[in-house]
């Protein structure tokens, strides 16, 4: 593995109702890696993601980003380094135009004028959607909304991006455009998904969670060739999908 950019150690978390959502999670992700985070519903995947930039805070264990532990003092800086792209893009699009949505984060960091305009333009180019800037978010297709939501996160120039079910609700063409976009990005990526072919295409490494624990960490192709492991953790390839040997 390359230099670890993200390190999770002994992370435990209980929700207010007492349910244990994370139980001793250990995870290290190298700079530039793309890792699929897999597992059944309720495994703790999204809960873990929300800990990576301090949206949720555990009472036990630690999260380090670039060697810096996430604390009350460092949480603001770490949120700039770890971006979250939520499953529903509408959660991240709230301004009158896409361009204003993409500009929102950098503007809050003090970027102004032509520098801000350039940041928006460059980011929309990066996601392959240069013409979306003047568009109204609620007039966009599902795939366009997804790209716009990704752009709002990438505009902050994060070192790590976590995608929660990025292919959810997309038609085949939109899914293909999404894969091309994510494959072109050079930053560290964690992709939470139930879409195993997408995980295989994008992520050389797969981490499986179940009942709040990391239960497997292996090459994605090896996981998909292990039907017993897939079945044990309620993972399933689409009907008719053939793995290359």
Quick: pLDDT tens for 111-152: 999 999 999 999 999 999 999 999 999 999 989 999 999 999
Mean per-residue pLDDT, 55-82: 93
Q: Residue 245's pLDDT is what?
A: 63
Residue 159 has pLDDT above 60, yes or no: yes
Residue 211 has pLDDT above 80, yes or no: yes
Determine how many CB atoms are found less than 10 A away from the CB of residue 65. 27
Give CATH superfamily name and number for 4-232: P-loop containing nucleotide triphosphate hydrolases (3.40.50.300)
Name the average pLDDT for the chain.
93
| Surface-to-core class of residue 171, CB atoms within 10 Å of its CB (0-12 exposed, 13-18 middle, 19+ buried) | exposed
Domain residue spans of the chain: 4-232
pLDDT in tens, 70-118: 999 999 999 999 999 999 999 999 999 999 999 999 999 899 999 999 9
120 touches 132 (CB < 8 A): no
CA distance 158 to 82: 6
Which ranges of the chain would DSSP assign to H, the alpha helix? 45-51, 75-81, 98-108, 113-126, 142-154, 172-184, 196-202, 220-224, 227-232
CA distance 189 to 125: 19
DSSP designation for 66? T
Mean per-residue pLDDT, 158-168: 94
**Angle formed at CA 117 by CA 114 and CA 123, multiple of 5 degrees:** 135
Q: Residue 169's pLDDT is what?
A: 85
- pTM metric for this prediction: 0.93
Q: Give residue 59's pLDDT band: very low, low, confident or very high (50, 70, 90).
A: confident
Of 31, 26, 36, nearest in space to 222 by CA: 36
Mean per-residue pLDDT, 153-172: 93
Backbone dihedral region for residue 42 (phi beyond 0: left; psi -120 to 50: alpha; all else: beta) = left
Q: Give residue 216's pLDDT band: very low, low, confident or very high (50, 70, 90).
A: very high
Q: Residue 2's pLDDT is what?
A: 67
């Amino acid at each position: 593995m390359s230099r670890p950019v993200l390190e999770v150690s002994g992370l435990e978390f209980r929700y207010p109702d007492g349910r244990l959502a994370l139980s001793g999670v250990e995870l290290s992700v190298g700079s530039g890696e793309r890792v699929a985070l897999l597992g059944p519903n309720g495994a703790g995947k999204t809960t873990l993601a929300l800990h990576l930039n301090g949206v949720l805070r555990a009472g036990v264990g630690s999260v380090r980003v670039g060697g810096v532990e996430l604390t009350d003092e460092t949480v603001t800086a770490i949120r700039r380094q770890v971006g979250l792209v939520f499953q529903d893009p509408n959660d991240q699009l709230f301004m009158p135009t896409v361009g204003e949505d993409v500009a929102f984060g950098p503007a809050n960091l003090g970027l102004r004028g032509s520098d801000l305009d350039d940041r928006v333009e460059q980011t929309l180019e990066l996601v392959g959607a240069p013409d979306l800037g003047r568009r109204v978010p609620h007039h966009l297709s599902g795939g366009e909304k997804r790209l716009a939501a990704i752009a709002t996160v990438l505009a902050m120039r994060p070192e790590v991006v976590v995608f929660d079910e990025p292919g959810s609700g997309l038609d085949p063409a939109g899914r293909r455009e999404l894969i091309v976009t994510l494959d072109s990005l050079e930053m560290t990526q964690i992709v939470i998904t139930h879409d195993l072919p997408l995980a295989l295409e994008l992520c050389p490494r797969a981490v499986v969670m179940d009942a709040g624990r990391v239960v497997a960490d292996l090459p994605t192709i090896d996981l998909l060739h292990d039907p017993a492991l897939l079945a044990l953790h309620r993972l399933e390839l689409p009907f008719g999908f053939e793995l290359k040997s």
